[in-house]
Amino acid sequence: MTKGRDQVDTQRFEKILDETLGEKRRHHSRMVSKAAAELARRYGGDPEQAAFAGLVHDIAKEMKPDAQLQTMEKYSILLDDVERVTPKLWHAIAGYALLKYEYGVADEDVLEAVRWHTTGRKGLSRLGKIVYLADCISEDRDYPGVEQARAAAARSLDAGYLDSLERSIRTLLDRGALLHLGTVEARNELLLAAK
Ligand SMILES: Nc1ncnc2c1ncn2[C@@H]1O[C@H](COP(=O)(O)OP(=O)(O)O)[C@@H](O)[C@H]1O
């Protein structure tokens, strides 16, 4: 992607987000975009690509679950057992499909980062980790532990990613919720690599 193209895309998607997301979510998207660019600068990614992926990561977040499901079905995306019964996970997958098939985004790294931004997964790319982490530590985030999450992100990309994966796992366990296997496998992968 050339620089000119990126800027055109950003303007185009800011307009699309104006039409599809409320003000709070648009603000969150801009903050995730900013955090992702900062993480890319720090950890060796492409800041413009990261900014773009962060901007569009929640593009399908305010679609109705039925519409998210229809979008995934339209493009024959197969869901695993946990995804099928967890509508909160659908916006990431529907967002991937919308960006790829309806808005013509061709950058597979960006598409992958959007697809996995809620659960993470084993073997996720650097950009995928950046967007996952940026979503957890962006300036607008305010939850118990966010300062610890930011401190971990300042140590290394993997330390930040691991801290946020573990916080998500703990929160879901406390709620008695289903756990997506991608999150567990991503954590195991990081712990195995450290042995
Ligand atoms: N690994 C997971 N397994 C199952 N459900 C998850 C997982 N990660 C997140 N979720 C659910 O999806 C919801 C939305 O996640 P996310 O998009 O990251 O949140 P946010 O709305 O704060 O951006 C979470 O609140 C949680 O209920």
pLDDT in tens, 103-135: 999 999 999 999 999 999 999 999 999 999 999
Kindly give the distance from the C-alpha atom of residue 119 to the centroid of ligand 1, in angstroms, as a whole number: 7
pLDDT tier at 3, thresholds 50, 70, 90: very low
> Which ipTM was obtained for this model?
0.91
pLDDT tier at 5, thresholds 50, 70, 90: low
pLDDT tier at 6, thresholds 50, 70, 90: low
Average pLDDT for the chain: 96
What gap in Å lies between CA 1 and CA 50, rounded to an integer?
A: 13
- The answer to whether the predicted template modeling score (pTM) of the entire model surpasses 0.90 is yes
Q: 49 near 131, Cβ under 8 Å?
A: no
What gap in Å lies between CA 118 and CA 83, rounded to an integer?
A: 11
pLDDT at 20: 97
> In the chain, what are the domains?
3-193 (1.10.3210.10)
Check if 172 has its Cβ closer than 6 Å to any atom of ligand 1. yes
- 136-158: b (≥16 Cβ within 10 Å) or e: bbbeebeeeebeebbebbeeebb
Check if 138 has its Cβ closer than 6 Å to any atom of ligand 1. no
Angle at 121 between CA 68 and CA 148, to 5 degrees: 100
Q: What tokens were used for 56? A: 């569009």
Of all helices (H) and strands (E), which one includes residue 164? helix 157-175
To test the pocket of ligand 1, the residue of 168, 173, 174, 183 to mutate (highest count of ligand atoms within 8 Å of its CB) is 168
